[in-house]
Amino acid sequence: MQPLLLSTAYFPPISWMATALRFEEVCIEIHETYPKQTYRNRCRIATSSGVLNLTIPVNRINGNHTKTNEVRIDYAQNWQLLHWRSIVTAYSKSPYFLFYRDCFEPIFNLKSETLLDLNFSVFTTISKVLNIKDLRIVSTEEYLDGQGFIDFRNEFHPKVKTNKSVTIELPRYIQTFEENHGFIPDLSILDLIFNLGPQAHPYLQKVGACIQVS
């Protein structure tokens, strides 16, 4: 099977994680021109009021020509405290929040200079929590044309539906605020972990095995 080519992501959506786990090797594109308003610097969680986007403020040092590996995190405002408080408020009553809290809280005390460094730390923590051992993650050495890869760099987007014909079925699981809003699919992997705990990894494997690309 060809390796998978993905964009970086901040607490990725469930579909991103399920797709990644289907492969033995995932290559993260870091030499692209950085696009705004994507999962590269944001994630979606469920709150009592509905879906909340948590966005990392960033600085593009070369304006619209900034590459993803050049994007710096902006600490002018205490976004880390805001993100963590929002996560605690959203998931403190979920079945596995207390079990995993100490795994994730240290991330919000990091002072990573670049977005890529932070996202790598996030993925490393997720991998430990989910006990992911057989997935190899590498970064691109230059911008790739996609040949030789399954190119999903722009497949996962919070606002735009891509042109690829990809079918990803996300079965319902019990969510904290499901009585308020019904089941909300494809939230951040945090939602799956805090609600399913040890069953999060089997859930992702089941979804990944059913992904169809045409």
**pTM to 2 decimal places:** 0.94
Among 166, 202, 164, 137, which residue's Cα sits nearest to residue 5? Answer: 137
Among 97, 80, 76, which residue's Cα sits nearest to residue 88? Answer: 97
51-89: pLDDT as tens digits: 999 999 999 999 999 999 999 999 999 999 999 999 999
What's the CA gap between 196 and 95, in Å, rounded?
7
What's the CA gap between 35 and 40, in Å, rounded?
8
Residues 159, 19, 195, CA angle at the centre, nearest 5°?
Answer: 80
Q: Report CA Rg, the chain.
A: 17
23-32: pLDDT as tens digits: 989 999 999 9
